[in-house]
Protein backbone atom coordinates (compact mmCIF):
# COMPACT_ATOMS: atom_id res chain seq x y z
CA UNK A 1 0.00 0.00 0.00
CA UNK A 2 1.29 3.45 -0.89
CA UNK A 3 2.51 5.48 2.08
CA UNK A 4 0.57 8.65 2.85
CA UNK A 5 2.78 11.76 2.69
CA UNK A 6 3.93 12.90 6.14
CA UNK A 7 3.85 16.66 6.76
CA UNK A 8 5.05 18.86 9.62
CA UNK A 9 3.15 22.03 10.51
CA UNK A 10 5.62 24.36 12.28
CA UNK A 11 3.38 27.01 13.82
CA UNK A 12 3.29 28.44 17.35
CA UNK A 13 -0.37 29.49 17.16
CA UNK A 14 -2.08 26.38 18.52
CA UNK A 15 -5.48 27.23 17.03
CA UNK A 16 -4.06 27.59 13.51
CA UNK A 17 -1.87 24.52 13.92
CA UNK A 18 -4.78 22.39 15.14
CA UNK A 19 -7.12 23.61 12.38
CA UNK A 20 -4.59 23.00 9.59
CA UNK A 21 -3.54 19.60 10.95
CA UNK A 22 -7.16 18.44 11.21
CA UNK A 23 -7.99 19.59 7.66
CA UNK A 24 -4.91 18.00 6.08
CA UNK A 25 -5.45 14.76 8.01
CA UNK A 26 -9.02 14.62 6.69
CA UNK A 27 -7.58 14.92 3.20
CA UNK A 28 -5.33 11.89 3.49
CA UNK A 29 -2.08 13.22 4.93
CA UNK A 30 -0.18 12.18 8.03
CA UNK A 31 0.47 15.35 10.02
CA UNK A 32 2.80 16.19 12.89
CA UNK A 33 2.84 19.59 14.56
CA UNK A 34 5.68 21.59 16.11
CA UNK A 35 5.57 24.93 17.88
CA UNK A 36 9.25 25.77 17.35
CA UNK A 37 12.49 24.66 15.72
CA UNK A 38 13.47 22.26 18.51
CA UNK A 39 10.19 20.36 18.30
CA UNK A 40 10.52 20.23 14.50
CA UNK A 41 14.06 18.85 14.72
CA UNK A 42 12.91 16.08 17.06
CA UNK A 43 10.24 15.03 14.55
CA UNK A 44 12.71 15.15 11.66
CA UNK A 45 15.16 12.96 13.55
CA UNK A 46 12.70 10.07 13.83
CA UNK A 47 10.43 10.38 10.79
CA UNK A 48 10.57 10.46 7.01
CA UNK A 49 9.03 13.84 6.24
CA UNK A 50 7.72 14.76 2.79
CA UNK A 51 6.89 18.46 3.26
CA UNK A 52 7.13 21.20 5.89
CA UNK A 53 4.61 24.02 6.31
CA UNK A 54 6.72 26.63 8.08
CA UNK A 55 5.63 29.87 9.74
CA UNK A 56 8.17 32.71 9.61
CA UNK A 57 7.29 34.22 12.99
CA UNK A 58 8.34 31.64 15.58
CA UNK A 59 9.77 31.79 19.10
CA UNK A 60 13.51 31.18 19.17
CA UNK A 61 14.86 30.34 15.73
CA UNK A 62 12.65 32.02 13.15
CA UNK A 63 11.30 30.47 9.96
CA UNK A 64 13.81 32.13 7.65
CA UNK A 65 16.73 30.78 9.68
CA UNK A 66 15.14 27.32 9.75
CA UNK A 67 14.61 27.43 5.99
CA UNK A 68 18.25 28.39 5.41
CA UNK A 69 19.47 25.58 7.67
CA UNK A 70 17.23 22.89 6.19
CA UNK A 71 18.16 23.81 2.64
CA UNK A 72 21.80 22.93 3.40
CA UNK A 73 21.05 19.54 4.94
CA UNK A 74 17.95 18.24 3.13
CA UNK A 75 15.72 18.48 0.08
CA UNK A 76 12.44 18.46 1.98
CA UNK A 77 10.00 20.85 0.24
CA UNK A 78 8.96 23.88 2.30
CA UNK A 79 5.85 26.08 2.12
CA UNK A 80 6.38 29.34 4.03
CA UNK A 81 3.57 31.07 5.91
CA UNK A 82 4.02 34.85 5.92
CA UNK A 83 2.13 37.86 7.22
CA UNK A 84 -0.05 39.46 4.55
CA UNK A 85 1.85 42.20 2.78
CA UNK A 86 5.26 41.03 4.04
CA UNK A 87 6.72 40.96 0.53
CA UNK A 88 10.32 41.14 1.71
CA UNK A 89 9.88 38.00 3.84
CA UNK A 90 8.36 36.14 0.90
CA UNK A 91 11.22 37.11 -1.41
CA UNK A 92 13.87 36.18 1.16
CA UNK A 93 12.09 32.90 1.89
CA UNK A 94 12.08 31.90 -1.76
CA UNK A 95 15.74 32.90 -2.12
CA UNK A 96 16.63 30.76 0.91
CA UNK A 97 15.01 27.71 -0.64
CA UNK A 98 11.28 27.72 0.11
CA UNK A 99 9.22 26.06 -2.63
CA UNK A 100 6.11 28.18 -2.17
CA UNK A 101 4.56 30.67 0.23
CA UNK A 102 1.11 31.52 1.53
CA UNK A 103 0.08 34.78 3.19
CA UNK A 104 -1.94 34.80 6.42
CA UNK A 105 -4.86 34.65 6.85
CA UNK A 106 -5.29 31.87 4.30
CA UNK A 107 -7.90 29.37 3.21
CA UNK A 108 -7.21 25.77 4.21
CA UNK A 109 -8.35 24.74 0.73
CA UNK A 110 -5.74 27.01 -0.82
CA UNK A 111 -3.09 25.51 1.44
CA UNK A 112 -4.22 22.03 0.39
CA UNK A 113 -3.86 23.01 -3.26
CA UNK A 114 -0.34 24.34 -2.60
CA UNK A 115 0.63 21.18 -0.71
CA UNK A 116 -0.59 18.98 -3.54
CA UNK A 117 1.22 21.08 -6.14
CA UNK A 118 4.55 21.11 -4.30
CA UNK A 119 4.41 17.36 -3.57
CA UNK A 120 3.54 16.62 -7.18
CA UNK A 121 6.50 18.66 -8.42
CA UNK A 122 8.81 16.95 -5.94
CA UNK A 123 7.64 13.48 -7.00
CA UNK A 124 8.33 14.28 -10.65
CA UNK A 125 11.98 15.08 -9.99
CA UNK A 126 14.51 12.34 -10.77
CA UNK A 127 15.98 10.62 -7.75
CA UNK A 128 19.40 11.65 -6.52
CA UNK A 129 21.95 9.15 -5.20
CA UNK A 130 21.20 8.20 -1.63
CA UNK A 131 24.45 7.67 0.28
CA UNK A 132 23.19 9.75 3.18
CA UNK A 133 23.73 13.48 2.87
CA UNK A 134 27.35 13.95 1.76
CA UNK A 135 28.96 17.36 2.24
CA UNK A 136 31.57 16.82 -0.46
CA UNK A 137 31.00 15.59 -4.01
CA UNK A 138 33.82 14.60 -6.36
CA UNK A 139 33.87 14.27 -10.16
CA UNK A 140 37.07 13.63 -12.14
CA UNK A 141 39.23 15.41 -9.58
CA UNK A 142 36.87 18.34 -9.06
CA UNK A 143 35.60 18.86 -5.49
CA UNK A 144 32.24 20.44 -4.71
CA UNK A 145 31.92 21.38 -1.04
CA UNK A 146 28.21 21.68 -0.23
CA UNK A 147 28.74 22.95 3.31
CA UNK A 148 31.13 25.78 2.41
CA UNK A 149 29.50 26.26 -1.02
CA UNK A 150 32.85 26.12 -2.80
CA UNK A 151 34.19 24.45 -5.93
CA UNK A 152 37.82 23.38 -6.34
CA UNK A 153 39.48 22.32 -9.59
CA UNK A 154 41.60 19.13 -9.85
CA UNK A 155 44.71 21.24 -9.07
CA UNK A 156 43.01 22.64 -5.91
CA UNK A 157 42.26 26.09 -7.28
CA UNK A 158 39.03 27.57 -5.94
CA UNK A 159 36.63 28.42 -8.77
CA UNK A 160 34.37 31.38 -8.01
CA UNK A 161 30.71 30.65 -8.75
CA UNK A 162 27.65 32.83 -8.39
CA UNK A 163 24.86 31.50 -6.16
CA UNK A 164 22.86 30.45 -9.22
CA UNK A 165 25.83 28.71 -10.85
CA UNK A 166 26.65 26.85 -7.63
CA UNK A 167 23.07 25.63 -7.14
CA UNK A 168 22.89 24.55 -10.77
CA UNK A 169 26.11 22.54 -10.43
CA UNK A 170 24.77 20.92 -7.24
CA UNK A 171 21.63 19.89 -9.12
CA UNK A 172 23.72 18.31 -11.87
CA UNK A 173 26.08 16.55 -9.42
CA UNK A 174 23.22 15.12 -7.38
CA UNK A 175 21.64 13.71 -10.55
CA UNK A 176 24.56 12.56 -12.71
CA UNK A 177 23.97 10.70 -15.98
CA UNK A 178 20.29 11.72 -16.00
CA UNK A 179 18.53 14.01 -18.45
CA UNK A 180 17.16 17.03 -16.61
CA UNK A 181 14.63 19.31 -18.29
CA UNK A 182 14.74 23.06 -17.78
CA UNK A 183 11.66 22.87 -15.55
CA UNK A 184 13.27 20.16 -13.42
CA UNK A 185 16.42 22.26 -13.07
CA UNK A 186 14.28 25.17 -11.91
CA UNK A 187 12.71 22.99 -9.24
CA UNK A 188 16.02 21.44 -8.18
CA UNK A 189 17.59 24.88 -7.74
CA UNK A 190 14.54 25.94 -5.70
CA UNK A 191 13.74 28.91 -7.90
CA UNK A 192 17.12 30.65 -7.50
CA UNK A 193 17.42 30.84 -11.25
CA UNK A 194 14.85 33.19 -12.80
CA UNK A 195 12.02 32.05 -15.07
CA UNK A 196 12.83 29.48 -17.72
CA UNK A 197 10.70 31.49 -20.13
CA UNK A 198 13.62 33.86 -20.77
CA UNK A 199 16.05 30.96 -21.27
CA UNK A 200 17.99 31.90 -18.15
CA UNK A 201 18.75 28.22 -17.48
CA UNK A 202 20.60 28.17 -20.78
CA UNK A 203 22.50 31.32 -19.81
CA UNK A 204 23.51 29.83 -16.46
CA UNK A 205 24.61 26.61 -18.17
CA UNK A 206 26.71 28.62 -20.60
CA UNK A 207 28.39 30.53 -17.75
CA UNK A 208 29.01 27.35 -15.77
CA UNK A 209 30.54 25.64 -18.80
CA UNK A 210 33.02 28.50 -19.16
CA UNK A 211 34.22 27.82 -15.62
CA UNK A 212 34.48 24.01 -15.58
CA UNK A 213 34.91 22.89 -19.20
CA UNK A 214 38.22 22.78 -21.07
CA UNK A 215 36.34 23.72 -24.23
CA UNK A 216 32.92 25.27 -23.45
CA UNK A 217 31.90 24.87 -27.09
CA UNK A 218 32.61 21.14 -26.92
CA UNK A 219 31.60 20.37 -23.31
CA UNK A 220 32.66 17.19 -21.58
CA UNK A 221 30.55 17.49 -18.43
CA UNK A 222 27.32 19.35 -19.22
CA UNK A 223 25.87 17.80 -22.37
CA UNK A 224 22.89 19.25 -24.22
CA UNK A 225 20.13 16.71 -24.82
CA UNK A 226 18.18 17.59 -27.94
CA UNK A 227 14.53 18.35 -27.13
CA UNK A 228 15.22 17.24 -23.57
CA UNK A 229 17.42 19.50 -21.53
CA UNK A 230 20.86 18.78 -20.12
CA UNK A 231 22.83 15.85 -18.72
CA UNK A 232 25.85 15.86 -16.40
CA UNK A 233 27.67 13.09 -18.22
CA UNK A 234 30.22 11.88 -15.70
CA UNK A 235 30.20 9.83 -12.52
CA UNK A 236 29.87 11.75 -9.26
CA UNK A 237 30.83 10.24 -5.90
CA UNK A 238 30.38 11.36 -2.30
CA UNK A 239 33.64 11.84 -0.45
Query: Cα dihedral sign for 216, 219, 220, 223?
Result: positive
pLDDT at residue 198 above 60? no
- Based on the fold, state whether residues 161 and 110 are members of the same structural domain: no
pLDDT digits (tens, 9 = 90+) for 101-113: 888 889 999 999 9
Same domain, 104 and 178: no
What is the distance, to the nearest Å, from the Cα of residue 215 to the centroid of all Cα atoms in its chain?
30
d(CA 93, CA 82): 9
Give the end of a domain, one of 104, 124, 144. 124
- CA distance to 16, 58, 151, 229, per residue, from 9 (Å): 10, 12, 35, 35
Q: How many separate domains does the chain show?
A: 2
Residues 105 and 209 in one domain: no
Asked whether residue 129 is assigned to any structural domain, the reply reads no
Three-state DSSP class for residue 126: coil
What percentage of the chain exceeds 70 in pLDDT? Answer: 87
Integer Cα distance of 177 and 234 in angstroms: 6
- Same domain flag for 13 and 115: yes
Both 25 and 52 in one domain: the answer is yes
Residues 81 and 162 in one domain: no
| Residue ranges making up the domain that contains 107 | 6-124
- The answer to the question of residue 206 being in a domain is yes
With a CB cutoff of 8 Å and minimum separation 6, the contacts of 102 are 79, 80, 81, 82, 110, 111, 114
| Residue 197 clears pLDDT 50, i.e. is over it | no
Q: Of 26, 85, 13, nearest to 53 (Cα)?
A: 13
| Cα-based distances in Å from 226 to 109, 179, 200, 209, 233 | 40, 10, 17, 17, 14
Query: Is residue 1 very low, low, confident or very high in pLDDT (cuts 50, 70, 90)?
Result: low
pLDDT of residue 200: 73
**Are residue 170 and residue 84 in the same domain, yes or no?**
no
Look up the CATH number of the domain holding residue 67. Answer: 3.40.50.2300
Question: How many CA within 13 A on the CB side of residue 54?
Answer: 32
Looking at the fold, whether 71 and 145 belong to one and the same domain comes out as: no
Residue 130 counted as domain residue: no
Give the C-alpha separation, 25 to 5, whole Å: 10
Same domain for 145 and 115?
no
Whether residue 97 sits in one domain with residue 65: yes
* Domain-embedded: residue 1: no
57 plus 119 within the same structural domain: yes
Instruction: State mean pLDDT over 177-188.
Output: 85
Residues 141-174 have pLDDT tens digits of: 999 998 888 999 999 999 998 777 888 999 999 9
- Asked whether 132 and 139 are in contact (CB, 8 A), the reply is no
Amino acid sequence: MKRSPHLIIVEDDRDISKLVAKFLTENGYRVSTASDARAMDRILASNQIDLIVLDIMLPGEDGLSICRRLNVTSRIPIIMLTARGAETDRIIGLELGADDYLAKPFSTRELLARVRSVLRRASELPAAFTEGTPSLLIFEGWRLDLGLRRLYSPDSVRIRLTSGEFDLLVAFCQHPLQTLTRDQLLDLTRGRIPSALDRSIDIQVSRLRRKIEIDPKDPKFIQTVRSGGYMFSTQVDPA
